[in-house]
Each structure stands twice: as C-alpha cells, then as structure tokens.
C-alpha cells in the first residue's frame, strides 16, 4: 500500500484531506460517516491520507464496500506549524497536496481540508491556479445576522491585501453570495473606520475608488463600519484577510464567552434554572441561529476548483456539514460566473 | 458673551466639549447633571461651548450657582465630517479646541469630547504634545471578559500604525491597565492571525520583535489570536487602530444583535416569557456585565494631559460615567508613569 496509491473506481466527488485535523483522522472519519447518514444525495468522497489507517477505519465500520467511499494513499502530513512554501516543496506526498492533485487530474470535484491555511492557500494556488485576472484567492465565511446571513471576505487567505485584491474579493464574494445565499443582487460594503470619504487607511481609500468603478456590475453600497455588520445593512462585507480573520475569531470568542456567562447565570439558583427550563425553546432557537456548525467551512474563492477550509478543531458534525457544502458548491459550480464577472470588471477597473 | 470668554473661578476639573455629541448639548448636559448626582467626590467641570445655550441650560435647572460648574464660551463646533487638520486651522474657537487649551493653560486637568475622533486626535497632539519619545497617541478601550476586563489598544487613534507605534502602545496600555484595572503586571498580547512565528503580516512580525525586546519592562506573552480575547489569556490586547476600531464596533454590533435576538425569542410565547421572568436575575447580571456604559469612554494615551473620547451617540448615563472616569484618571495621573516607561524602553528598542 505504501508503494502505489490506492485508487478506487468511484470518482468526481469531494477529496477529503484526512490528516489535517487537530482532533485526528478518527474525528474526520466520524464526520464522513455522519455526512453519508444525513445527506443522501451527497457526491462520493475520496479519503486522502495514510492508506493503512484509513483502510482500518473503513473496515472497523464495515464501510469497505460503500459505493461512495474510496481511499487515496498519501504518506506525508503537512503540520500546522509548517511553513507554506517549504511544506509544498518538501512534502510532495502530503494528503493535502494529493487531494488538490485529484482536482487537477479531474478525479475529484472539490477538496476539503482542516489543515494549515497557508499551505492550503499556496498549494491551491499552485495546483489549481487562480481564474484569469485573479492574483490571490480569498476566503469567505457565512455569518448569521438579524435578517439571515452575510458573507465576510477575506477571512484570512490574504493578510497583505492590495486595493485590487479587495476589488476582486468583492466580485468573487458577490458570485458566492448569489449562488449560496441565493441573493440576486447582494449589497456589498467595504469595512472601514469612519465612513466619511478620506477616512480609514490608504488601502481602504484606494479600494473604495476601485469598488465605485465596479458599480455597473456589483451592488456596491459604499463604506461601512463595524456597527453595520449585524444590522442587515449589507450582504457582503469586504475586508483584508488580516482584519477578517481577527474579526471572525474574535466574534466566535465573544459568542462562546457570552454563552458560558449566560449558562452560569441561568444556573445560579433554582428559580433561575426553572425559568430557563420554561424558556428552553428560546435557548434552542439562539443556539441554532448562532451555531457555526452549518457554515463551519469557508471556500477559497477565485480558483479553478472548489476548495474548502474548515477549522483545525472542527468536530464530526461540522465536518459533515462542510463535506456537504463542498459537495453542493462543486455541484452548483461558481468558477464560470467568477471568471465572467472578473472579465467584465477588467474594462471598468483603472 | 460672544466677545469675551466666560471664565468662572472654579478650575482644575474636567473640561467637557458640550457641542460634539450626535444627540445634542442637552443630552450632554443631562450627563453632567447625572455625574453631579451620582459621584459626590467628582472634580469640578468646565462646560465648553455656546455660552448662551449653556447658560440657559444652567438656569433651566437652577445650576447657575453650582460650585462645581462653570462655562467657557466657544463660538464654533467641529462637525463629524470635518477634516481633522482643516478643522483645527479653520475653527480656532471650536469647543473641542478651547477645551484642550484649558488643559494647556492648566485651567483644566482633563478633557472629555464626543466629537470627531480625527480632530480630537490631531488637536490633542498639537495642543498637548505627546510625551517624549511618543509619535502618536493610542486610544484604549476597556472590554468585559470571562474573568474581569481587558484593555484593547489602539481602537482607532492611529489607523496606519508602524511597529514602533505598536510597541509604544503596549507600554502605554500597560500603565493604563496598572492604574485603572489595578493589575500589577498586565499580560500583554499582540493580536494576529496564526500565532506561529512568521505568520500574520509584516507589521505584526516587526512589532513582535520589538515587543520581545521589551520583556524586561512589560509582561509580553506573545502573539495571540481572536479566540484568545475573552478567555482571560491576556489583560492587554495590542493591535493597530484600524483593526481595533473595526473589532470594537463589530463586537458591540454583535452583542446588541444577540440581545435583540434573545429578547424576541424569550417573548415569543407566554411560557417562555414566564420563564424569562423567573430568570430575570440572570438577564440583569448579563446586562450589567455587557453594559458599555461604565467604560463607554476611551482615553488618548501618550499625551501630556488626560483626554477622553466618548461615542458620538453616548447617552446621558454613558456621559456621566465618562466624566467620572476622566476625573478619576486625571486625579490618579498616568503621564509620569507613561513617560518613565517610554524612557526605559528607549534603551531596549533597537
């Protein structure tokens, strides 16, 4: 098994990097099983990683003959602290890289990885290439808000964005929003501090000019501030990857802190606990709304192929949704629309 | 009254820019009255703004003879969309500028303004000068977390920070944390994306090196991510003013969205509403913890003088706390300690 890759006849589905999770391949495997159970119409998966280990997991759960599962052996693993470019050079047989190569070879239609973001970004760019006109992919997260959801992009793919990168991100996120949230003309805002012209920093000022040039092809509503985020002001929030990543993680941190604090307070005495019991429907509704499980994975937009990144610490449930989402997005297909919009933008952007 | 400024014999307190609020001078005046009522040991205030208007407010509430209140007339107002440098040149008699000049003339010990942040930043720097070694002041917010509070700096004074600015901010925020949160050796973290060495952007990498050089005089615990914010990992979070401002406003937006969503869910049916009534102690505790009222104003650190900025939309209650805080911080005095630490840092920073 170590010599020649194990290739099954079941192709065209989601290639899953089984080795990149902080919680280990077993948790990912539980996610795979959950996805098979919950989403009957899902595409097949190719499990990429240590062949012996994956085969033993398949046999443990009597899944060796499952028509939607196959294994592709990869002997190496990219670790979280590996340097992106170096990891690509030194670990050619890493599960993440092999998964990307399956798209390249048209043997898979999408990749899902929980691994090193930098390596996934560099590897995807190298193996799949950005769509024409795009320099760097962007990562987009779907976040719950008062009237539904909004898309935040970029959430970490490109921490040193240029104004042109931000303009491209607006185009890519518009397509993603149209396809996934099914909003025909998504309202796009550029996140800054102080919405008066000339405020913010140089990046924002220049990106704002570029976004105004795109108003014929996207619905750019202008500069927005942090307090606009959850008030249904826009459907797409554009920022650089540094700000977006800090924001996303801080908001998750705030939400879980509030949850823990509320739990402690509601259980502080029997009367409060009784009250909480009466109101448990409200708690369930809040929990469902805030759950990042459903949208726990984010795509790398702007590539010739569907690549999803999930948190390193994603549990089986999150993974099952992530697999489903990667499967759905690759089925819908967003690359042609992305390419078309980027092409139309070319004439508008000075 | 338009000719010569109205100067009362009561000096040495907080000069309040009465004209900069989005809610108008009346709301600010209500805040003044609330502060007088709730904080008996508070320093005197000098109300800076339109003398006729302020005098009529004083007489409306029979406060003309109040020993802690005086009026200083200023004929102009800096608006929210005024450009900072231009506003300083063209509006020399603006309430904000006159308030700062009262510190300069040692007639006031602190300034509180709800006005244009950029103008306040530029005006303070010009009128009060930064303490030796400091190039640009930093704005620091106090934010509730699981085990108390943490300080986030900079939250918007300097959106184009250099690595040296971030190092200085760490020193300034350390002193502020020691004095206000009374933590002897505050743990300082630098906010980034991915805590492995070499991640983040260039600014972060260079600032990280500088902060390591300061480990003899501050408790630098290293790089932190968004998810560390509310978990009692550090007492001081350092970031550039753009990221900090976006973060602060987004978190406020998220908290108020969650509050509104929870309220709707808890009132959805009579049983839930009854439950909420039983648990109302928990709601009160959460409300108190999350309230930004107590720490609704942020100081500009690193200046020869105490300057506090409150939101343009601060209500009377927030204003009353802000006045009290400006009064307390000017009484404690932080400038000498800031200057000493900056001086000691000089030999360490390469």
Q: Which domains are seen in chain B, by residue range?
A: 1-134+302-333 (3.40.718.10), 138-292 (3.40.718.10)
Chain B CB contacts of A277 below 8 Å? 275
- Is A48 in contact with A74 (CB distance < 8 Å)? yes
Chain B CB contacts of A207 below 8 Å? none
Chain A CA closest to residue B231? A257
Inter-chain residue contact B192 with A246, CB threshold 8 Å: yes
| The predicted structure's pLDDT at residue B267 | 86
Q: What is the distance between the alpha carbons of residues A200 and B121, in angstroms, rounded to a whole number?
A: 14
pLDDT in tens, B128-177: 999 999 999 999 999 988 778 999 999 999 988 999 999 999 999 999 99
Dihedral of CA atoms A47, A49, A50, A53 in degrees, nearest 10, equals: -40
Inter-chain residue contact A281 with B274, CB threshold 8 Å: no
Exposure of A138 by Cβ count < 10 A (0-12 exposed, 13-18 middle, 19+ buried)? buried
The residue of A162, A195, A197, A246 whose CB has the most chain B CBs within 10 angstroms, and thus the best one to mutate to test that interface, is A246
Q: What is the distance between the alpha carbons of residues A316 and A218, in angstroms, rounded to a whole number?
A: 37
The residues of chain B scoring below 50 in pLDDT are 1-11
A134-146 average pLDDT score: 91
- Is B192 in contact with A117 (CB distance < 8 Å)? no
pLDDT band (50, 70, 90) for residue A320:
very high
Torsions phi, psi of A222, nearest 5? 110, -160
Alpha carbon separation from A328 to A65, A110, A293, A296, A349 (Å, rounded): 24, 10, 16, 14, 32
Chain A CA closest to residue B278? A275
| The predicted structure's pLDDT at residue A271 | 87
Inter-chain residue contact B258 with A200, CB threshold 8 Å: no
| The predicted structure's pLDDT at residue B4 | 38
Q: Which of A205-209, A275-279, A289-293 is the least confident region?
A: A289-293
Chain B CB contacts of A296 below 8 Å? none
Q: What is the distance between the alpha carbons of residues A55 and A71, in angstroms, rounded to a whole number?
A: 7
- Is B15 in contact with B71 (CB distance < 8 Å)? no
**Higher-confidence position of B169 and A84:** B169
| The predicted structure's pLDDT at residue A198 | 63
Q: Which of A26-30, A81-85, B310-314 has the highest mean pLDDT?
A: A26-30
Inter-chain residue contact B276 with A275, CB threshold 8 Å: yes
pLDDT in tens, A226-241: 989 988 899 999 999 9
Q: Give yes or no for residue A197 having a pLDDT over 90.
A: no
Chain B CB contacts of A289 below 8 Å? 261
Inter-chain residue contact B261 with A286, CB threshold 8 Å: yes
| The predicted structure's pLDDT at residue A10 | 41
Report the mean per-residue pLDDT for chain A.
90
What six digits make up the tokens of B236? 């001081």
Q: Which of B247, B252, B305, B336 is nearest to B120 (CA)?
A: B305
| The predicted structure's pLDDT at residue A277 | 85
| The predicted structure's pLDDT at residue B2 | 40
Shortest Cα–Cα distance, A142 to chain B (Å): 14
Q: Give yes or no for residue A1 having a pLDDT over 60.
A: no
pLDDT in tens, A247-282: 999 988 888 888 888 888 888 888 888 888 888 888
Shortest Cα–Cα distance, B119 to chain A (Å): 12
- Is A162 in contact with A134 (CB distance < 8 Å)? no
Inter-chain residue contact A249 with B239, CB threshold 8 Å: no
Exposure of B105 by Cβ count < 10 A (0-12 exposed, 13-18 middle, 19+ buried)? exposed
């Amino acid at each position: 098994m170590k010599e020649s890759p194990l290739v099954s006849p079941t192709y065209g589905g989601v290639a899953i990097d089984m080795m990149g999770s902080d919680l280990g391949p077993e948790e990912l495997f539980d996610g795979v099983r959950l996805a098979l159970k919950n989403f009957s119409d899902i595409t097949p998966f190719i499990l990429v990683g240590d062949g012996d280990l994956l085969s033993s997991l398949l046999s443990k759960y009597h899944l060796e003959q499952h028509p939607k599962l196959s294994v592709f052996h990869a002997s190496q693993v990219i670790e979280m602290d590996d340097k992106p470019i170096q990891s690509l050079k030194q670990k050619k047989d890493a599960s993440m890289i092999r998964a990307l190569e399956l798209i390249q070879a048209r043997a898979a239609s999408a990749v899902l990885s929980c691994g090193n973001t930098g390596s996934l970004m560099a590897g995807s760019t190298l193996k799949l290439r950005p769509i024409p006109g795009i320099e760097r992919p962007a990562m987009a997260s779907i976040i719950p808000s008062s009237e539904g959801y909004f898309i935040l992009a970029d959430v970490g793919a490109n921490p040193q964005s240029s104004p042109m990168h931000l303009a491209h991100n607006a185009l890519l996120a518009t397509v993603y929003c149209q396809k996934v949230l099914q909003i025909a003309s998504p309202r796009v805002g550029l996140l800054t501090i102080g919405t008066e012209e000339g405020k913010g920093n140089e990046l924002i000022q220049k990106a704002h000019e570029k976004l105004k040039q795109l108003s014929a092809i996207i619905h750019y509503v202008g500069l927005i501030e942090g307090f606009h985020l959850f008030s249904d002001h826009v459907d797409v929030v554009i920022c650089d990857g540094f700000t977006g990543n800090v924001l996303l993680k801080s908001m998750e941190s705030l939400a879980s802190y509030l949850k823990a604090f509320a739990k402690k307070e509601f259980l502080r005495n029997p009367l409060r606990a009784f009250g909480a019991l009466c109101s448990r429907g409200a708690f369930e509704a809040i929990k469902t709304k805030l759950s990042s499980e459903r949208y726990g994975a984010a795509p790398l937009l702007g590539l010739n192929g569907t690549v999803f990144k999930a948190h390193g610490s994603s549990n089986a449930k999150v993974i099952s949704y992530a697999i489903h989402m990667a499967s759905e997005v690759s089925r819908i297909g967003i690359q042609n629309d992305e390419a078309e919009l980027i092409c139309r933008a070319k004439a508008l952007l000075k």
